[in-house]
Amino acid sequence: MNALETITKEIRACTACDLHETRSQAVPGSGTSDAQIVFIGEAPGAQEDKRGLPFVGQAGKLLDQLLEGIGLDRDRVAILNVIKCRPPDNRPPRKSEIAACRHFLERQLDAIQPQLIVTLGRFSLVQFCPDVSITQVHGQVQRVDGRLIYPVYHPAAAFHRSVWRQALEKDFGRISEILASLQK
Ligand code: SF4
């Protein structure tokens, strides 16, 4: 069992915060330790909680379309969430839950060592860049503690405002270019 598989096993058995009482199952994430790029969302929703996989609801379908648009599919990337268990009624995760769960994400990133981390939405972004606004920095690479963070809007938000959808598509369109520039 490699490091990522060990973390997955720990997440599935975790009872470190109250969310374990209301989840159907934990959602550790998808992808392998050789992924060059990691996408990070907030927390599982109802569909994810039911199936144990990240981004499998409506927002996940849009994520798949966006990946396809840049010649990627799920097999070539990793998809994670900051919080691994669904908050009831999709309420925002509490500080204590974020604190209890955060080490899993850090360990997953250490195991994968991605070239690029794409944060999906404000919540994910502020875990790495607490002092910035997503409206100001989306589509701009941020260097944080030796990591490259690329903030984009959350696919679920894109359903509500067409301007965010356009920005999301445009920002995704730059991912290949950014990855190519990292190979030089
Ligand atoms: Fe454990 Fe994270 Fe689930 Fe809380 S949300 S029970 S810390 S895996």
CATH of residue 95's domain is 3.40.470.10
CB-hemisphere CA count at 13 Å for 137? Answer: 20
Q: How many domains does the chain have?
A: 1
Helix-then-strand count for the chain, H and E:
10, 5
Atom of ligand 1 nearest to the CA of 97: 4
The set of residues, in sequence order, having a beta carbon less than 8 Å from that of 128 and lying 6+ positions away, is 117, 119, 142, 144, 147, 149
Q: Using only C-alpha atoms, what is the Rg of the chain?
A: 15
Say if ligand 1 is within 6 A of residue 154 CB: no
**Residue-range definition of the domain harbouring residue 36:** 3-182
CA of 155: how far to CAs of 22, 86, 150, in Å? 25, 17, 15
Q: Which amino acid is at 133?
A: S
Distance 18 CA to ligand 1 centre (A): 8
Q: For residue 81, what pLDDT is reported? A: 98
Say if ligand 1 is within 6 A of residue 83 CB: yes
Q: For residue 182, what pLDDT is reported? A: 85
Distance 103 CA to ligand 1 centre (A): 10
Q: For residue 168, what pLDDT is reported? A: 96
Q: Please report, in tens digits, the pLDDT of each residue of the chain (184 residues total).
A: 899 999 999 999 999 999 999 999 999 999 999 999 999 999 999 999 999 999 999 999 999 999 999 999 899 999 999 999 999 998 999 999 999 999 999 999 999 999 999 999 999 999 999 999 999 999 999 999 999 999 999 999 988 889 999 999 999 999 999 998 987 7
Strand partners, 142: 149
Taking the model in full, what pTM does it have? 0.96
Say if ligand 1 is within 6 A of residue 42 CB: no
Distance 70 CA to ligand 1 centre (A): 32
CB contact burial 46-65 (16+ within 10 A = b; e otherwise): ebbbeebbbbbbebbebbbe
